[in-house]
Amino acid sequence: MKAKCSILLPLLLLSSAASTPTIEWQRFIGGAGKDGFDAMVTAENGRYLLTGITTEGEDRQGWLVSIDEEGKELWNRSWGGDGRDQFRSLALTSDGGCIIAGITTSYGGGGQDMWLVKVDENGHLEWDRTFGGPDDDEGWDVKVTSDGGYIVVGRTKSHGTLGSDLWLVKADSLGRREWERTFPAPGDALGRAMLVVPGGYVIVGRIEQEEDSDILLIKTDLRGVQEWSANWGRPDRDEFANAVIETADGGFLLVGGTEYYMPSSDPLIVKVDWGGRPLWNSTMPGEDDDWLNAVLEVADGLMLAGVTTRFGNRDLLLMKTDFLGRQIWDAVLGGEDDDLGWAIEQAGQGYIVAGSSMRGGDEQGWLLKIDPS
């Protein structure tokens, strides 16, 4: 019988002995309430910036934490008003600071609004902007554009058609809106992640209608005008993608989950070419509820981070595959309660994974340094 070790005695459970990754260190960051990391970027001088949510009393705030390569906290900031404030993604800016996208109900046009926050290299707020109308609007991913501005993807209920539309907002270097687009789709749609590519943007999103979810991929020009779109999924099962990267050999890689083979979610990797045509996909069918949240292309394949319910509760799923998505090893990390992995970055020869971990009823931001061998 397989046993899972407590988080105090971290253990990697490997499906194959081909490689032996180990935990070099792990850190738990946060206060007494709910804390967690949703995104991470590699900054200068061996630093990493992490963003997510923290709780002050009963109040949810957007959270930004700077750590060094040993996971030591350098500084820790939070922003927001009396409402629910949350950061979802961030990108480095050329001035050494960062741009953050998220959601706020504290400011803006009513309900939830897309929230764009600019922070300098020392973690001080330079400006923030909200976008949205009286209904719920969300920011999910942000990137820096070649003209020094920002592009944010998410969803809007205030604009577009009835229900929720995939929403793209272009802002200048001071966060002032230049244009915005919605993309008609059946049912509700959401923009989850995006890439800036030569001549435009690639957006990975989700279409939801009548309890079915499919993956949506859209390519636009620099003005946000759609050039092509593609979607995947079978009508009666959920498919979704949480991250997209551009691969060294050209084309894009999407990772997420699929219920194609099973009533539960399985890890899904989809490779598409520059025109959005699928080249291959890889799933790892199983009875547990498993999916992927983050992917890194490394020298000898793909490093993936996600979630598995292999041991009942939610645990961090780490997976290494070759360049065609064929599994080399996987590992499950976590304790007796829910542990989630949302971001992965290269750190020397190893990796840092960021997410959240529930320990003794307290959810904390969670960082792990993984040594590959």
Q: Which stretch binds Ca ion (CB under 5 A): 163-171, 181-189, 205-213, 323-331?
A: 205-213
Per CB under 5 A, does 212 bind Ca ion? yes
CB neighbour list of residue 252: distance below 8 Å, 6 or more residues apart:
195, 202, 217, 244, 245, 246, 271, 272, 274
Give me the residue whose beta carbon is nearest to Ca ion.
Answer: 233
Per CB under 5 A, the list member of 21, 30, 139, 200 interacting with Ca ion is: 30
Nearest-approach distance from CB 363 to Ca ion, in angstroms:
5
Which residue, 97 or 233, has its beta carbon nearer to Ca ion? 233
Q: Which two tokens stand for residue 229?
A: 């779109």
Spell out the SS3 assignment of 12-48.
CEECCCCCCCEEEEEEEECCCCCCEEEEEEECCCCCE
Site string for Ca ion, 73-102 (x = CB under 5 A): -------x----x-----------------
Distance of CA 37 to the CA centre of its chain: 10
**Nearby residues of 9 by Cβ (< 8 Å), 6 or more positions away:** none
Residue from 97, 139, 175, 233 binding Ca ion (CB under 5 A): 233
Residue 133 exposed, middle or buried by CB count within 10 Å (0-12, 13-18, 19+): middle
| Residue 276 beta carbon to Ca ion: minimum distance, rounded to whole angstroms | 18
- Note whether 113 binds Ca ion by CB under 5 A: yes
Residue 364 near Ca ion by CB under 5 A: yes
Q: Contact region for Ca ion (CB under 5 A) — 12-20, 70-78, 131-139, 187-195?
A: 131-139
For 7, the 3-state DSSP assignment is coil
d(CA 257, CA 68): 32
- Binds Ca ion by CB under 5 A, chosen from 38, 128, 137, 339: 137
Tokens representing 356?
């959240």
* Shortest spacing between CB 167 and Ca ion, in angstroms: 11
Buried/exposed 105-130: b ≥16 CB within 10 Å, e otherwise: bbebeebbbbbbbbbebebeeeebbb
Binding mask 278-297 for Ca ion (x = CB under 5 A): --------------------
Size of the site for Ca ion (CB under 5 A): 19
Contacts to Ca ion by CB under 5 A: 30, 35, 59, 61, 80, 85, 109-111, 113, 132, 137, 212, 214, 233, 237, 239, 362, 364
